[in-house]
Amino acid sequence: MADELTLTHVCMQFKGVKAVDDFNAHFEKGKIYGLIGTNGAGKSTVINMISGSYKPTSGEVGFGDNLINKMPGYKIAEIGIARTFQNLRLFKNMTVLENVMVAEQLRNKYNFFQMITGSPHFRKTEKQMKESAYEALEIMGIQKYANMISGNLAYGYQRRLEIARCLATDPKFLLLDEPAAGMNPNESLQLVDEIRRIHNERDITILLIEHDMKVIMSLCEYIYAMASGKTIAQGTPKEIQNNETVIKAYLGGGD
């Protein structure tokens, strides 16, 4: 089906470590999914394999009609899969708006020659880029900081800016790696609202890695739980909350 993402028997082996062992998942268009697990469970590795940062050592990743497990990361971004990083990767010396516009260039139609000659096509594109950048900042509630140097933003806002950068590329699928990390409970609650807004306004499929169970349980329709590279449970928030194996992994895992 169009824009559905499927991982089939996906494995990632680093020298001595099987970081992900036979991961299988199906993500339907327009739903919000959660990926939980103790530290080192393999969650970020799953996102890295979807976005093309890592190539799975075996298994397949399909997005719509595309088999993406061998595609370069920029191509995967071009077909509509965007991601944030667990450790922020902003250009700290650029303004908030510039950070978003740089990300947008990825999916733009003009070439370098048009850009340096300032052709009408480029000017039009730049105007459109600015508009959609502001739109993305507005969804994340940070448009008033557009001209601020991003390194001077409060940490919680920097996390929002990372998401705004993704939104400006108009993705079909959004991968969020611990977007609430380092946020206080109030900020996390706000973030939940913003993610819900993204989902309602843009009809984007979302896969969310998060340690904050309040965030996961209030947003996600379906959850995958991992431990030591393996999927230990999957189901609705209610099913996951009551799952013995998940409870044991969390209580015994020193998370």
Ligand X SMILES: Nc1ncnc2c1ncn2[C@@H]1O[C@H](COP(=O)(O)OP(=O)(O)OP(=O)(O)O)[C@@H](O)[C@H]1O
Contact residues toward ligand X (CB under 6 A) are 14, 17, 19, 37, 39-45, 86
Backbone torsions φ then ψ of 59, nearest 5 degrees: 95, 175
* Distance in Å, CB of 42 to ligand X, minimum: 4
Residue 129: name its binding partner from ligand X, Mg ion, none (Cβ under 5 to 8 Å by kind).
none
Q: Which of 44, 84, 150, 205 binds Mg ion (CB under 5 A)?
A: 44
The tokens for 156 are 């919680």
Interface with Mg ion by CB under 5 A: which range of 27-35, 86-94, 127-135, 182-190?
A: 86-94
Residue 45: name its binding partner from ligand X, Mg ion, none (Cβ under 5 to 8 Å by kind).
ligand X
* Distance in Å, CB of 43 to Mg ion, minimum: 5
Determine the size of the site formed for Mg ion (CB under 5 A): 2
* Distance in Å, CB of 170 to Mg ion, minimum: 26
* Distance in Å, CB of 99 to ligand X, minimum: 24
Footprint of Mg ion on this chain (CB under 5 A)? 44, 86
